[in-house]
Structure 1
Amino acid sequence: MCNLVTEGFKYACGHYIIERKKDKVDCMSPYCTHSRRHRNPCPNCACDRYYGPDASETVLGFRPGFCPECKPWYNGRNGAR
């Protein structure tokens, strides 16, 4: 699985939200869709489609309050949209 080098902000809820993706660490696997070794086109592709954990997270700052994902839950709406 390929990984990303990111910059982002940490919220009071503890979540880290990515602001910028700076670089990609290539896993060099032919079975990862993000790798440059992945076959294109890949017939009946069942390869990994997700990135692994960030290789590096640079915290640009801390933001008070909840992140956009937590805000509905902690405002009493229980995630209802």
Structure 2
Amino acid sequence: MCNLITDGYKYSCGHYIIEHKLSKIDCNNQYCIYSKQHRNPCLNCSCDRFYGPDASETVLGVRKDFCPECKPWYRRDGR
């Protein structure tokens, strides 16, 4: 799996949200759709469609609220 070098923000829920994808580290695997080695077109493609963990995460800042994914789950009224 290819990996990304990113920068983003850390939220109070603990999640890191990517703001910018700075570069990609190529895994050179023909079965990864993000690699330069992947065939195009790839007939009946069932290759990996996800990036691996970020190779580097630069935290631009910490935000005191919850991330967009967690906001609906953590209401301020305690419900």
TM category, shorter: over 0.9
- The TM-score with structure 1 as length reference comes to 0.91
> Where does 1:42-81 land on structure 2 (aligned, <5 Å)?
42-75=42-75
Alpha-carbon separation, structure 2, partners of 1:55 and 1:39: 24
- The TM-score with structure 2 as length reference comes to 0.94
Q: Which consecutive segments of 4 or more residues in structure 1 shift more than 2 A?
A: none
How many matched pairs?
A: 77
Identity of aligned pairs, percent? 69
Question: Deviations for 1:27-60, whole angstroms, at most 9, x for unmatched residues?
Answer: 0000000000000000010100000000000000
Deviation at 1:65, TM superposition (A): 1.2
Alpha-carbon separation, structure 1, partners of 2:43 and 2:14: 41
- Structure (1/2) with the larger helix percentage: 1
> Where does 1:1-81 land on structure 2 (aligned, <5 Å)?
1-75=1-75
The answer for unaligned runs of 5 or more in structure 2 is: none
Provide the aligned C-alpha RMSD in A: 1.2
The answer for unaligned runs of 5 or more in structure 1 is: none
Alpha-carbon separation, structure 2, partners of 1:68 and 1:42: 35
Deviation at 1:3, TM superposition (A): 0.5
State the one-letter code of the partner of 2:67.
C
**SS of residue paired to 2:60:** strand
